[in-house]
Amino acid sequence: MKRSNITDEPAHLPIHVFLVIFTLLAIYPVLWVFTIAFSGGQSLAIADLPSDPTFLDRLRAILPWPEQVSLSNFKSVMTDQPFARWILNSAVVAAATTVLGVFLATTAGYAFSRFRFPGQRAGLMSFLVSQMFPGTLMLIPLYIIIVGWLGLGSTWIGLILVYATTSIPFCVWMLKGYFDTIPLELEESARIDGATPIQIFIKIILPLAKPAVAVTALFSFMTGWNEFILAATFMDEEVMYTAPVGLRFFVGGFSQQWGYFAAGSIIVSIPVVLLFLFLQKYLVSGLTAGAVKG
């Protein structure tokens, strides 16, 4: 006898309620950032409580919604403050870090995946060991090398070199693992057709490795765009600050410009969101499935 299908939605109701609650808790701080940015003021208090507040007054005070919507914070932070210059510094550093990081990581990952050479295992292990230590542990030696030996303090080149070298180990390991999944038969077929190793790498391997390359590019860009500690250490000239370092000066011991800070935070987040939306179609593995018939 065929049993009737009985929905189990009531059993899932507590799980849905739990997920909704924690989703609201996660986006609540983000809503406050938008509220402060669009309020037009510099205070964290969006609504003033009356002398004898009611429950609705208290509820209104904690809800993230401005009394009036204004773009003055965004206009001021881009015109009255040197934030546009800081955004430019971050864009140049992040873009150069992405290009350099993707180039070095793809070539190194392919070499570790396809070739056998002395020191291969030691090189992979050194990349792995380097990821076990926090970035701040390398702050002093990096400062001695970049500022003391090379004289690249407060320069784009110095920061690009630091970001590229710190992001390469993770990217090489990730790309090496992805290159291992690409069948060798594809390269052998290309060699039979007369393709050179460079042509095989550019025209066959890289197109098939688009998901891993996209993740590498996103990780390298976010490293150069969002990093704060290294940029604050190496950049001691205000005109060379990156956006995260510049945001620090909106809120400090002598300044409490929360509106500028919130507006700047939203502006800084836009390129990362756009890049993620652009690359999300590549963030899917399995492009090589069915490429070789068994």
Side-chain half-sphere exposure of 253, counting CA atoms within 13 A: 0
Burial 230-249 (b: 16+ CB within 10 A, else e): bbebbbeeeebbbbbbbbeb
**Look-up of token digits 């499935």:** 289
Which residues are bridge partners to 256 per DSSP? Answer: 251
Closest by CA position to 89, among listed 80, 97, 101: 97
pLDDT (tens digit per residue) in 226-239: 999 999 999 988 89
Average pLDDT, the chain: 84
The string of DSSP letters for 49-94 reads PPSS--HHHHHHHHS---SS---HHHHHHHHTSTHHHHHHHHHHHH
Ordered domains of the chain (ranges, CATH): 9-70 (no CATH), 75-282 (1.10.3720.10)
pLDDT (tens digit per residue) in 194-250: 889 899 999 999 998 888 898 889 889 998 999 999 999 999 888 999 999 999 888
Cβ atoms of 96 and 223 closer than 8 Å: no
Asked if the model's pLDDT at residue 2 lies above 80, the reply is: no
> From its phi and psi, is residue 151 left (phi > 0), alpha (psi between -120 and 50) or beta?
left
CA distance 246 to 81: 10
> For the chain, what's the residue count?
294
Q: Strand, helix or coil at 46?
A: coil
Q: Find the mean pLDDT for residues 25-39.
A: 88
Structure tokens, 220: 């390298």
CA distance 66 to 85: 29
The pLDDT, as a whole number, for residue 48 is: 62
Structure tokens, 178: 């992805």
Q: Strand, helix or coil at 251?
A: strand
DSSP 283: -
Structure tokens, 193: 């057709």
Percentage above 70 pLDDT, the chain: 86
